[in-house]
């Protein structure tokens, strides 16, 4: 299966359910598609809460005031908003037009200052702009060619890459497999050691590797 097919299938899935995805960042008050609400309850809500807390802790420990940040596969923009107040600029890219539409609506609703931009882009197949800090949260799990994607992300990161990947939990793995088969996209579970090896090949050292709940977060820094 080609990268174009994987990005097309994944993009279509997220495009269709972008609003339901965005709702999983709220603790209560969900409405919409029944299956997606079950997905929010089973897979997303707790993961998102813990992941956002962990990312906030990592990002707040960094001095980003002169830094440009790139959020690869930004979804509905929540991670971009988390970092926006702290850095010089944020560019969020996503393959899904509906996700980018929601990012822009959220941007207006939240009254975030003017240093955040969102654009539609296929980050797996198209060239990636460079940035001081690259964030790639919950995206590589949709791609078989992890080495190629990791190399691309590392090349784009001038200083730091923060990456979140899915962790294998047997019941979630099976349920996600069933969902992905039914909805025509794929999920891949990558080996943490191999991710670090690939990053090391392009000069990025793993400074932090922490598994929590259903995900694993890595912080890579460019070797001096």
Our CB check for ligand SAM shows the closer of 126 and 203 to be 126
Smallest distance from ligand SAM to CB 221, Å: 21
Q: Which parts of the chain fold into alpha helices (H)?
A: 3-16, 18-23, 34-39, 45-60, 78-84, 97-110, 146-156, 170-183, 192-201
Residue 218 and residue 195 in contact, taking contact as beta carbons nearer than 8 Å: yes
Check residue 139 for interaction with ligand SAM (CB under 6 A). Answer: yes
Our CB check for ligand SAM shows the closer of 2 and 203 to be 2
User: Mask of contacts with ligand SAM, 48-87, x by CB under 6 A?
Assistant: -------------------------xxx--xx--------
Q: Which residues neighbour 159 within 8 Å (Cβ) at sequence distance 6 or greater?
A: 67, 132, 133, 221, 222
Annotate 51-65 with three-state secondary structure.
HHHHHHHHHHCCCCC
Number of residues forming the site for ligand SAM (CB under 6 A): 21
Our CB check for ligand SAM shows the closer of 92 and 199 to be 92
Comparing every residue's Cβ against ligand SAM, the nearest one is 75
Our CB check for ligand SAM shows the closer of 9 and 200 to be 9
Residue 75 and residue 94 in contact, taking contact as beta carbons nearer than 8 Å: yes
Near ligand SAM in 84-123, by CB under 6 A: 93-96, 99, 122-123
**What CA–CA distance (Å, rounded) separates 167 from 175?**
14
Q: Which residues bind ligand SAM (CB under 6 A)?
A: 7, 10-11, 14, 73-75, 78-79, 93-96, 99, 122-124, 137-139, 142
């Amino acid at each position: 299966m080609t990268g174009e097919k994987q990005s097309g299938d994944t993009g279509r899935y997220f495009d269709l359910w972008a609003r339901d995805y965005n709702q999983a960042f709220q603790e209560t008050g969900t409405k919409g598609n029944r299956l997606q609400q079950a997905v929010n309850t089973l897979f997303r809500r707790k993961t998102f809460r813990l992941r956002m807390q962990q990312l906030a802790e990592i990002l707040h420990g960094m001095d980003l005031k002169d830094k440009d940040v790139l959020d690869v596969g930004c979804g509905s923009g929540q991670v971009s908003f988390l970092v926006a107040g702290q850095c010089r600029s944020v560019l969020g890219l996503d393959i899904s037009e509906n996700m980018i539409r929601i990012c822009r609506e959220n941007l207006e609703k939240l009254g975030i200052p003017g240093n955040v931009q969102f654009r539609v882009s296929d980050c797996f197949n198209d060239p990636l702009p460079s940035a001081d800090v690259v964030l790639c949260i919950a995206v590589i799990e949709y791609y078989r060619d992890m080495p190629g994607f990791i190399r691309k992300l590392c090349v784009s990161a001038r200083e730091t890459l923060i990456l979140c990947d899915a962790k294998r939990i047997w019941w979630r793995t099976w349920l996600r497999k069933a969902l992905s088969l039914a909805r025509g996209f794929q999920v891949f579970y990558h080996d943490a050691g191999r991710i670090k090896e690939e990053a090391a090949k392009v000069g990025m050292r793993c400074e932090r590797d922490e598994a929590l709940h259903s995900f694993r977060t890595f912080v890579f820094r460019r070797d001096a």
